Structure 1
Amino acid sequence: MGKGGASIPDEEWERFLRESEAGAQGAPEEPSARARMVARRLQEETGRPEPWRAHQPARRRRGKGWYAVGLLVALALVVVALDPGRVADWFGGGGGEGAQAATESQRPGQAPPTEAAVLLPTVEQPFRGSPAARWGDGTAGIGLPEARATGWMSKAQVAQALDRTRDFLAASSLDAGVLRGERPRAAIALINPHQRDVQDYLATAFRAPSRENDPLLLFSRFDSTKVRLVGDVVKARGRVTYEEGDRGAVEVTSDVTYVYPVVRAAAGSDEVVRTIVRREIVMSWDHPAKVVIEPGTFSLVSYKMDTTNGGCDTVTGYLTPEFGAERAAAPPGDGPEVDPYDRSKSMDARMREAGDAGCGRATRS
């Protein structure tokens, strides 16, 4: 209702607007003051104007914006409910994206976070939900120290020994053929052939593997008739250190955790599980004048291994991961709980905790 005027029925007003805009005959010749104002605007403005009588809230644009945001939030909540992993992936928590972790240079003070552990791996993202998603690929995840003259070796010789140590780690735990079950010839060629006890172990381990002569103590191997790796990337994290050893030798210690994503060998298999192997290997680059050794080879001092989902109480010479159905049917382990990604404890401490308790229980994979 206009000030000091009579009310015009809404139906008549809307008809007048339509007819005025279209220039129809029969429009009122002497419209009210309100009508004249609209008619003048129709003549003066180009394009279709908004009806003067239309109601437009003062903050309509902001209202529309908040409605759109509210709709997006509602959709996001639906996505979170249906696929929480996708949202975590958007923010780098899904194991596919995110900044790569710096190479390990010293023992960490604690285990990596567990927030993403609920996310399951996929063929497209085999390290999803795992700290390994941010680890280096292969040898890129193994930190080498700066070389310095030590024992009988010059700085250049120590650097060469460190490079060959990394070559051994690659040939024993990352080589595609070895992972498919082939004999690790390149890795074995770096071991002192005159170290008789080790050579006896190697000969027996591949012919008749046993708990005492298990090739997995040094090499990662899968039975290619049963499982296959997902993609061509193995994640690794660890470091190499060295010091002077007996008779002036350079004693090198590697402590590395490897993460292997696998599926069943059958074509089309897409259930991804991970096998995690941590090895500590101590090798001695001996002085050839004091120890019988071939140039470019090292003597093994000790080797330790700890595995998650690689088989327990079954020695076949291969890592034997279990999948969902097998895990469900298997009895729970009777050993202590272990976080396979926790590198804050030394291998010695890990082995002491495990003792002879049998199969441990991994808190995540």
Structure 2
Amino acid sequence: MSKGGASIPDEEWERFLKEAEAGGAGAPEEPSARARMVAQRLREEPGGPPEGWRTYTPARRRRGKGWAALGLAAAVAVVVVAVGPWGIADRFGGDDGTRATPLAAESERPTGPPAQEATDRSPTLDEPFRGSPAARWSDGTAGIHLPEARAAGWMSKSEVARALEKTQDFLAASALDPAVLRGERPDKAMALINPHQSDVRDFLKKAFRAPDRENDPLLLFSRFRPSDVRPAGDVVKTRGRVTFQEGERGAVEVSSDITYVYPVVRAAGGDDEVARTIVRREVVMSWDDPAKIVIEPGTFSLVSYKVDTTNGGCDTYTGYLTPAFLAERAATRPDGGAEVDPYDRSTSMEERMREGDDEGCGTATRS
């Protein structure tokens, strides 16, 4: 038995998947994020049983590895100690006062973390990314590298290209859209998710009605409460890439691994202190063959997600990112969690989750 209710035994899930595979031809099936996740686990770990349907191992500082409710593979991480927009410009370079040459797009995983910046370069309203590696990152969707399309699974080259474009549309609508960042519902992003995924529908309803540890909209969307903070400038810096491969039943499985940097100031005004919230998300989506899966045209089935957040709140499940400023950080000391460099993209999110301990909120080495 888990916190979400009775668990379906792992043996039953394994039997179900084997029977489903043996069934082969037939009518299209309703997509199940749980079935996809368990199938992937069975492939990757044939010697060990998958986790239960409602099994979830939460980390107190939202950092650690666990499978979330709804059958979605979710790893949640928040690093709260950090120093210290919603109109997104899709242009190279920045308006933060830096003259540094923008980095080339990230087409593959870097071999190490970016160099440390001078510690006395605090962000300002004119230069909100000052002292941060993000000063050399691109703005908005320009920082999201899309691979060259090729035929894969049931899709032609042009169809894969369209799926990649729609994947970028989802990323922009979920993490860069001005209205969503102001706390509004991400309707454009949710419209791209297959409405026939009943577990995902239930998750979204609960997440926006009564967010909690297992039903948190921040797992997929970036949202701030406008009464708390407002953007420092009109740019969100991004860095990351999208990849794809053939997935289950000939689907095209697209994976995104993107880091977003949001500079904010207090909504009440009165000072110019800038705080930065850093969110790294990995979202895996399946562009399914409608001959095999019940799916609406132009939508994808959600497979899994992982998220790692710096200065966005720790053990707070309000449905909003809650960045802390100097006064709050001085009053709240870290409780012994591991140190993490939020700009280090040389380690996969899976590795980062495995390496993190399960207790307390971690400490960001920089913001």
TM over 0.5: yes
Q: Tell me how far 1:267 sits from its aligned partner.
A: 3.1
Aligned to 2:328: 326
Aligned to 1:309: 311
3-state DSSP of counterpart to 2:165: helix
Give the distance between the partners of 1:331 and 1:99, measured in 2 at CA: 36
The structure-2 alpha-carbon separation of the partners of 1:104 and 1:95, relative to structure 1 and needing over 3 Å to count, comes to: farther
TM-score by length of 1: 0.73
3-state DSSP of counterpart to 2:185: coil
Aligned to 2:287: 285
Match of 1:321, as an amino acid? P
Q: Tell me how far 1:277 sits from its aligned partner.
A: 0.2
Aligned to 1:349: 351
Aligned to 1:270: 272
**Mapping 1:56-135, distance limit 5 Å:** 96-135=98-137
Q: Tell me how far 1:268 sits from its aligned partner.
A: 4.2
Give the distance between the partners of 1:113 and 1:191, measured in 2 at CA: 38
Higher helix share: 1
Select the residue among 153, 166, 185 that pairs with 2:168. Answer: 166
Give the distance between the partners of 2:337 and 2:105, measured in 1 at CA: 31
Give the distance between the partners of 2:234 and 2:187, measured in 1 at CA: 20
Flag the structure with more relative contact order, 1 or 2, with Cα contacts below 8 A and sequence separation at least 6.
Answer: 2
3-state DSSP of counterpart to 2:285: strand
Give the distance between the partners of 2:261 and 2:355, measured in 1 at CA: 22
Match of 2:299, as an amino acid? T
CA contact (8 A) 1:257 1:278 kept: yes
CA contact (8 A) 2:281 2:307 kept: yes
Aligned to 1:195: 197
3-state DSSP of counterpart to 1:205: helix
CA contact (8 A) 1:190 1:298 kept: yes
CA contact (8 A) 2:285 2:302 kept: yes
Match of 1:109, as an amino acid? T
Give the distance between the partners of 1:248 and 1:358, measured in 2 at CA: 41
3-state DSSP of counterpart to 1:118: coil
Aligned CA RMSD, in angstroms, stands at: 1.3
The structure-2 alpha-carbon separation of the partners of 1:181 and 1:213, relative to structure 1 and needing over 3 Å to count, comes to: same
Give the distance between the partners of 1:205 and 1:345, measured in 2 at CA: 29
Q: Tell me how far 1:231 sits from its aligned partner.
A: 1.3
Q: Tell me how far 1:123 sits from its aligned partner.
A: 0.3
CA contact (8 A) 2:117 2:132 kept: no
Match of 1:269, as an amino acid? D
TM-score by length of 2: 0.73
Flag as ranges the 4+ runs of structure 1 deviating above 4 A.
none
Give the distance between the partners of 2:269 and 2:328, measured in 1 at CA: 19
Give the distance between the partners of 1:355 and 1:254, measured in 2 at CA: 25
Q: Tell me how far 1:334 sits from its aligned partner.
A: 2.0
CA contact (8 A) 2:149 2:161 kept: yes
The structure-2 alpha-carbon separation of the partners of 1:101 and 1:204, relative to structure 1 and needing over 3 Å to count, comes to: same
CA contact (8 A) 2:242 2:254 kept: yes
Instruction: Determine if the alignment matches structure 1 residue 236 to structure 2 residue 238.
Output: yes
CA contact (8 A) 1:97 1:133 kept: no
Q: Tell me how far 1:314 sits from its aligned partner.
A: 1.0
In the alignment, structure 2 segments of 5+ residues that lack a partner are: 1-93
Give the distance between the partners of 2:279 and 2:201, measured in 1 at CA: 23
Cα deviation digits, residues 245-295 of structure 1 (max 9, x gap): 000000000000000000000134310010000000000000000000000
CA contact (8 A) 2:225 2:320 kept: yes
CA contact (8 A) 1:95 1:129 kept: no
Give the distance between the partners of 1:116 and 1:326, measured in 2 at CA: 23
How many residues were matched structurally? Answer: 273
Give the distance between the partners of 2:287 and 2:271, measured in 1 at CA: 44
3-state DSSP of counterpart to 2:118: helix
Q: Tell me how far 1:206 sits from its aligned partner.
A: 0.6
Larger of the two Rg values belongs to structure: 1
Cα deviation digits, residues 25-81 of structure 1 (max 9, x gap): xxxxxxxxxxxxxxxxxxxxxxxxxxxxxxxxxxxxxxxxxxxxxxxxxxxxxxxxx
Structure 1 vs Structure 2: percent identity of aligned residues? Answer: 72
Give the distance between the partners of 2:99 and 2:312, measured in 1 at CA: 27
Q: Tell me how far 1:317 sits from its aligned partner.
A: 0.3
Give the distance between the partners of 2:163 and 2:331, measured in 1 at CA: 47
Select the residue among 335, 338, 349 that pairs with 1:336. Answer: 338
Give the distance between the partners of 1:138 and 1:149, measured in 2 at CA: 28
CA contact (8 A) 2:338 2:357 kept: no
Give the distance between the partners of 2:339 and 2:143, measured in 1 at CA: 26
Give the distance between the partners of 1:356 and 1:310, measured in 2 at CA: 18
Once structures 1 and 2 are overlaid, which stretch shifts more, 200-209 or 347-356? Answer: 347-356
3-state DSSP of counterpart to 2:204: helix
